Amino acid sequence: MKVWLNGRLVEKRSAKLSVFDHGTLYGDGVFEGIRVYGGKIFQTKAHIDRLFRSAEVIRLAIPYTKQQLIDATYRTLRANRRSDAYVRMAVTRGEGTLGLNPNKCPKPSVFIIVDSIELYPPEMYETGMPVIVAKTIRTSPRSLNPAAKTLNYLNNILAKIECVNAGASEAVMLNEHGNVAEATGDNVFIVKDGRLITPPASAGILMGVTRAVVMKLAGRLGIAMEEKDFAPDALYAADECFMTGTAAEVIAVTRIDGRTIGGGQAGPVTRKLMAAFREFIRLPEAE
């Protein structure tokens, strides 16, 4: 495997950052997880724009243009002979000192990994997955702007540990007000009386790229939809529930905290959106 690191393609074993890199020491950096379907980067502009917005939030200057990073991604795909892949693009603060001062890091580090990813077994897309509501609360937007997709994922990891210990596949995280925010790596949707509902940006969520695509597809399909706050009780009472994410795509949730959701399988609205998403990724506008 070849990895793009600071402008060069290097072998995986040689793709290394300094232990003094602030990304390593403090999780100081930003990243994107991106899918490639049929040799084409999925939602290129949305992902690259979000990477640069995230960097702006934490006052990190990316030393490449958006087009240079897109070109580097395609170069890495070709080098690894991949047409379908998962891409991890990251920018760290760079090598510095043991102190927190980011001004001591003169040059950011940038790397692009092209690999495969499978979060859930294929059969789970038919049967749905079990999730829990985590006790770990989503970091408050007053502490860290959720619009920034940063390398510091400890909050999500602690909730993920809860779900692994519970034998579940994902964990829904609540915000400081007790409302549903998002899962450890996915956005959350419920369906009630035919209406699609998902938490708003103000709930402290990362505005997912796949989330935005699914919302657009729902509009095209004439599915009523709204962004609003809701508590865990709404999850349990939902007719359907599903999650969206770059790696997960669209996947049904059929059990939450041991309670069966709806009919215990992917519901009609979820199935319709799953099918629409799979069709969408083949269209030119998916790039």
Distance CA 245, CA 34 (A): 10
Distance CA 118, CA 121 (A): 7
Distance CA 261, CA 255 (A): 5
Distance CA 140, CA 177 (A): 9
Which residues on neighbouring strands pair with residue 36, listed in sequence order? 41, 85
Which residues are designated catalytic?
Answer: 149
Distance CA 83, CA 219 (A): 30
* CA neighbor of 34 nearest in space, from 205, 271, 281, 199: 281
Burial 229-245 (b: 16+ CB within 10 A, else e): bbeeebbeebbbbbbbb
Instruction: Report DSSP state, residue 285.
Output: G
Burial 173-209 (b: 16+ CB within 10 A, else e): bbbeeebbbbbbbbbbbbbeeeebbbbeeebbbbbbb
Structure tokens at 3: 């990895």
